[in-house]
Structure 1
Amino acid sequence: MSVTTVHLVRHGEVENPDHILYERLEGFPLSERGERMAAATGEFMASFAPFQNVAHVVSSPLERTRQTAQIITDRINTFRQTHHLPALVCHTDERLIEASNEFRGTRIGYGQGALWRPKNWKLIANLHKPSWGESYEHIAQRMHEVVLDLVDAHPGQQVLAVSHESPIWSLRMLLEQGSPEHWMFARRTALASITSLSFDCDSHELLSISYANPAADVA
């Protein structure tokens, strides 16, 4: 049986001093701490098999995910160079992008983002099935599609895909529970964490899910 593992990595901390809901907005790169978080995850991946054997790297097109992917890839490439392996190159896929959100550009709890406003309260009436933007079902389905495409394109290999909290967790809930709906405050997808999904290449059966948080102690 041939097995492909897709390692879904969440981006590192973002530079956001005004606490804006940035969603898909441009101009929100990694903070210095976020860069250190990505570096910690990259060092972790460069230190252990099977991460060292990643054959393909892809990320959401947003700046923070591209930065995270590049920092991690640089660490893995340092290992690969010393073992005379070809260098990895980062690619992007729109389907890995952050979920759309009607609150984008606002500061949650203040002004137009204040939850006490009637129009906003209606949007968050059911946090399991959000009405403020892209549904969990749509998020999970596009993530599932890109992951299975990666399985088909890289049979028997390791793949790194850098995305965002909501897309990663929505897909995990779909695969584990059969439904992507969840309580948003109970997600287990820390910054720069790794959620690894292993699939049978022929049947697309999910074989295992594992989780690692190499950047947990980064200050």
Structure 2
Amino acid sequence: MIVYADGGSRGNPGVAGSGTVVYAADGRTALRDIVYVVGRRATNNVAEYHGMLRGLEAARDLGARTVEVYMDSKLVVEQMSGRWKIKHPDMQKLALQARRLMESFDSVTFTWVPRGRNEVADALSNQAMDAAAAGAEPGIVGGTDATPAEDPAVDPAVDDCEIVATPDSQTGTPAHWTGATSRPTRFVLLRHGQTPMSAAKQYSGHSNPSLTELGREQARAAARTLQDRGGIDVIVSSPLDRCVQTATAAGEVLGLEVEVVDKLIEQDFGEWEGLTFDEAHTMHPELHDEWLADPSIAPPGGESLQKLHNRVRSVRRDLQQRYPGQTVLVVSHVQPIKSFVRQALDAGPHVVARMFLDLASLSVVEFFDDADARVGSTLRIFNDTAHLRSS
């Protein structure tokens, strides 16, 4: 992730505040902005350190592994890069806090930029100083960290969650609270039905087993539900048989062809393919633990979770561009579906291990055009299996 941070003091020392923006790796998608009151008597440099600290904290909470920090404070950049000594006791304490935070990441770099390239963080720091002058206590007082989510008038949790196309009316839909003016591209995410390998709880990545009889019935049950609810415009599928069979069951009742998208294939588990969780752990205990904790690590001869996320994200963007405002049925596997959900939540990789997806389950995510919406995506439904219980 990329962090831009600034801080200021009116009086130096005087009322002080910091501003921070955390961007995704593309440098354009803002993930979090923070307005932080430092206090009523602090220096510019201390305020700048606080802006940097708030950025590292946010990047950690968002699941970043590598962080690039950009500041117009030459002093903070040079001190945190280890090129200048830190003599002031207050800044020594703040630098120690930063070092501890940096242990959460694989790498952190600090780069100086001219003030003109740090205008957003500078504006946020001025908001913080305004708040400090008005009597606000030290702490986060604005930005996305402080945005309340309890207003029942705009809470997506009370939204109608049918798997249907978004109606033209904006009231009671995610568009009502995101501010979007156009229909989102909706992705209905269907995991394939049971296979012999899933029944045996084996890692099943690029292996190509077919559905069991139960798996075929699960696929038909999902297809009937999709037919009853309607609204599907396009069907895309992983190239593996278990997904193509599940997608074909839906296509037959919906009257739609199935488009195979190679990048929707499951994660490559390498040498762990065909093993159970316990067997893989026994084979490589340390590596298996590291793999579970670190999305950049791949199984021996396999694919890392981060690499999978990058390819699935490119698929989602392509489908959103090709089918704007339409509903796309995506038939895939556990990890690609989790990637879609992670993208909708705009979350870090830590969320992946905290999701559970049943066989033949349905989830729904929506992505709005960036120019339209204050919030670019929503999770509507996750791991719905009601159609299996009633089949």
Match of 2:190 among 1, 5, 9: 9
Q: Find the aligned partners of 1:12 and 1:183 in 2 and give their Cα distance.
A: 21
Shift of 1:123: 2.1
Q: Secondary structure at the match of 1:209?
A: strand
Closer, same or farther: CA 105–156 of 1 in aligned 2, 3 Å: closer
Instruction: Report the equivalent of 1:53.
Output: 231
Structure 2: distance between partners of 1:215 and 1:68: 14
- Match of 1:13, SS state, is coil
Structure 1, 11-20 or 56-65: larger mean CA deviation:
11-20
CA distance in 1, matches of 2:287, 2:326: 42
Contact 2:192 2:333 in 1 (8 A): yes
Q: CA deviation at 1:69?
A: 0.3
Give the TM-score taking structure 2 as reference length.
Answer: 0.47
**Contact (CA 8 Å) 1:128, 1:183: kept in 2 or not?**
no
Among residues 200, 204, 208, which one is paired with 1:22 in the alignment? Answer: 204
CA distance in 2, matches of 1:142, 1:163: 13
Question: C-alpha displacement at 1:138, in angstroms?
Answer: 1.8
Post-superposition Cα deviations, 1:104-147, rounded to whole Å, max 9, x if no partner, equal 4443268xx45323xx1122123132531322222222212211
Structure 1 residue 189 corresponds to structure 2 residue 357: yes
Instruction: Say if 1:124 and 1:215 are closer, same or farther in 2 by CA, change over 3 A.
Output: farther
Q: Which runs of 5+ in 2 are unaligned?
A: 1-181
Report what 1:35 is aligned to: 216
Aligned residue number for residue 74 of structure 1: 252
Distance in 2 separating the partners of 1:42 and 1:177: 29
RMSD between aligned residues: 2.4
Question: Which residue number corresponds to residue 344 of structure 2?
Answer: 175
Query: Which stretches of structure 1, 4 residues or more, deviate above 4 A after TM superposition?
Result: 17-20
Q: Tell me which structure has the larger Cα radius of gyration.
A: 2
Deviation at 1:55, TM superposition (A): 1.5
Distance 1:109 1:206, change over 3 A: closer
Question: Would the aligned equivalents of 1:172 and 1:180 in 2 still touch at CA under 8 Å?
Answer: no
- 2:287 partner amino acid: L
Question: C-alpha separation between the residues in 1 aligned to 2:200 and 2:362?
Answer: 27
Q: Which residue of 1 aligns with 2:310?
A: 141
Does the residue aligned with 1:178 lie in a helix, a strand or coil? Answer: coil
**CA deviation string 1:40-74 (max 9, x = no partner):** 111111001xxx22111110000000000001111
Change (3 A) 1:68 1:100: same
Change in Cα spacing, 1:157 to 1:143, as seen in structure 2 (3 Å) is: same
State the percentage of identical aligned residues. Answer: 25
Q: Which residue of 2 aligns with 1:108?
A: 276
Cα distance in 2 for partners of 1:143, 1:114 equals 25
Deviations 1:157-202 (A, max 9, x none): 1111111011211332343252123463x42321111111111135
Q: Which residue of 2 aligns with 1:213?
A: 385
Structure-1-length-normalised TM-score: 0.80
For structure 1, list consecutive stretches of 5 or more residues without a partner in the other structure.
78-87
